């Protein structure tokens, strides 16, 4: 399935709807899908007729199961950071920094990168039957798309550590109690109605006011700059280029980078 079929996009009046449509792989995100989402966000940003962006899934089983392990598992460490993580962070950051309000409709479970995608949105509404979590520790990975910071901003460091270190999922009711989601519905019909009502309400609000408010809220969020530099230095140190650079320095010769 190509990215255009795996990520659908349409408009209903002033609401833009991005639908993940890769049910056979639980909507697992590939580089191609991330690039297509990035293109859709360009349309949302520049189209003045669009006032709200909604992200949802064509499947009720999963909103998104995260990044496609088959794809990122085959990437070498350097390209993992420079390609896969960078591409995902670009999309998540673009959603988070969008001047228009964004809503994640969790009509299926959201795990790993799927939860990170939902956390990049302003609001989240869920079915009562879904689960959310960061299972990356079970496969030797971490939430690489700023999920640790975004989750900690919502639930505090103690609960964020619990979810990330244990890698266990929590039900929608707990997510509501912790503030991860803004509302929970028992049926898909009730969920859709709630999201329609929220979209209608947002459509009556000042676009300028919401844009400025979103920028102000970003300004007061804790900065992850120091940690990002630490992680970036660690990634560089793990590459063959770093090994060659150190060896060349010790041997007092010009480095030959591959």
| Residues with catalytic roles | 116, 136
For residue 170, give the nearest of 200, 207, 133, 209 by alpha carbon: 133
Indicate the SS3 state at residue 43. Answer: helix
The answer to whether 124 touches 106, Cβ cutoff 8 Å, is yes
What crossing angle do the helices spanning 31-46 and 86-96 adopt, rounded to 10°?
A: 30
In angstroms, the CA 238 to CA 92 distance is 25
Strand order in the sheet with 109-111: 62-64, 109-111, 131-133, 170-171
Q: Would you tell me how many other CB atoms lie within 10 Å of the CB of residue 203?
A: 14
């Amino acid at each position: 399935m190509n990215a255009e079929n795996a990520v659908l996009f349409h408009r209903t009046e002033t609401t833009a709807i991005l639908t993940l449509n890769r049910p056979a792989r639980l909507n697992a995100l590939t580089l191609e899908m991330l690039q297509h989402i990035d293109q859709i966000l360009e349309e949302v940003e520049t189209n003045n007729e669009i006032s709200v962006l909604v992200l949802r899934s064509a499947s009720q089983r999963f909103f998104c199961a995260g990044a496609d392990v088959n794809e990122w598992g085959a990437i070498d460490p350097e390209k993992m950071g420079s390609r896969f993580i960078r591409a995902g962070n670009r999309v998540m950051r673009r959603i988070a920094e969008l001047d228009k309000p964004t809503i994640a409709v969790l009509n299926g479970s959201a795990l790993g990168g799927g939860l990170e995608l939902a956390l990049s949105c302003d609001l989240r509404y869920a079915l009562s039957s879904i689960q959310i979590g960061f299972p990356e520790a079970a496969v030797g990975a971490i939430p690489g798309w700023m999920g640790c910071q975004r989750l900690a901003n919502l639930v505090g460091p103690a609960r964020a550590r619990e979810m990330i270190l244990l890698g266990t999922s929590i039900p929608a009711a707990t997510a509501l109690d912790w503030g991860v989601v803004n509302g929970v519905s028992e049926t898909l019909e009730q969920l859709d109605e709630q999201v329609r009502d929220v979209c209608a309400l947002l459509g009556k609000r000042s676009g300028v006011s919401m844009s400025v408010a979103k920028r102000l809220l970003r300004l007061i969020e804790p900065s992850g700059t120091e940690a990002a530099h630490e992680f970036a230095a660690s990634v560089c140190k793990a590459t063959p280029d770093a090994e060659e650079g150190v060896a060349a320095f010790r041997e007092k010769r010009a480095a030959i980078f591959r």
